[in-house]
Structure formats: structure tokens, C-alpha cells
Amino acid sequence: MIEVTRWDGTVRIDAERIEASEVEVVVDATSLEVREGKGGAVPLLAINKSEIAKAINKALSTKKHPEIRFRSTAVTRTADGFALHGDVTITGATRPAELTVSIDIVSGQPRGTVTTTVVQSHFGVKPYSAMLGALRVRDEVEVRAEVQLP
């Protein structure tokens, strides 16, 4: 699991025309921190986390492309929440994306869970691999965000 530690987002909700609502999220690409790894042939060690962090910065060309960005182009209501259609930009490459947003109430507060799948190679990113492939990240990765709503 990789956690984003620095990001900013703007949500403009049009209550009368939900499809006219807008979402934009900007992630500091240098703020991705390795928290844990699952399902590998060997356990993820601290040294692996450090190596992966360096590889992330290199793979994402963070000096040249310091931001990862999502900007919605359409919002639709679903049974569990919303679907955000838009464009995601990673390493300077922009591709269409669909984010699923489900809304729940946790301890009396509305919370959103946002999920999507990113195929790294679609953005020119080579999936991480080390130790002759014993430690690796799949090309297709699930992105999940938990957000507390106002």
C-alpha cells in the first residue's frame, strides 16, 4: 500500500444539476510513501520501502512531472453514490478515467470512498520489480481514497 501524504482537492456541487458538478484533485507526486506490501513471495522490509520510494520518484519522473491530477468532465449518480468521469494526468500523459464514489455514514459523519484502477503502462510507467521479480507491483493497480465529507 502506498499512501499519498500531500494533496489538494476542490469539489463544486451543483445540487440542482448533479451532472454539472466538478471535482479536481492534485497530488504531490513526491509525497507517495510505501506503507505495506501484500501477496509477495517475500515480506516487504524497510530497505525495500526505501528502494521502492526511490523507484517511484524515478518512474513518475517527479522532477519533470511533480503533480498527478484528476479533473472531472462529468458526474453521474449511481445506486451507491456517484461516478466521476474525467481525465487523469500522470507523468505528463493524460488518459480518460472513471472514479467510483460510494457514500457512507461513519460515526454520524458522511464519508466517501473513491476507487479506480490505473494501468501504469498507459502512462509510460514501468511497474516496479526487484529481486529478480520476487518483489513486484502489478501493472494494473487499484487506487483507493477515503475522504471525510463536510
- How many domains, the chain? 1
Q: What confidence tens digit (pLDDT) does each residue in 48-92 have?
A: 778 878 888 898 999 999 999 999 999 999 998 899 999 999 999
**H or E, element range at 55:** helix 46-59
Print the domain residue range for 113: 2-148
- Model pTM? 0.82
pLDDT at 26: 98
CA distances 27 to 39, 54, 129, Å, are 27, 17, 24
**20: domain CATH number?**
2.40.128.110
Share of the chain above pLDDT 90, in %: 47
pLDDT tens digits for 62-71? Answer: 999 999 999 9
Positions of the chain with pLDDT under 50: none
Residue 23 forms beta bridges with which residues?
11
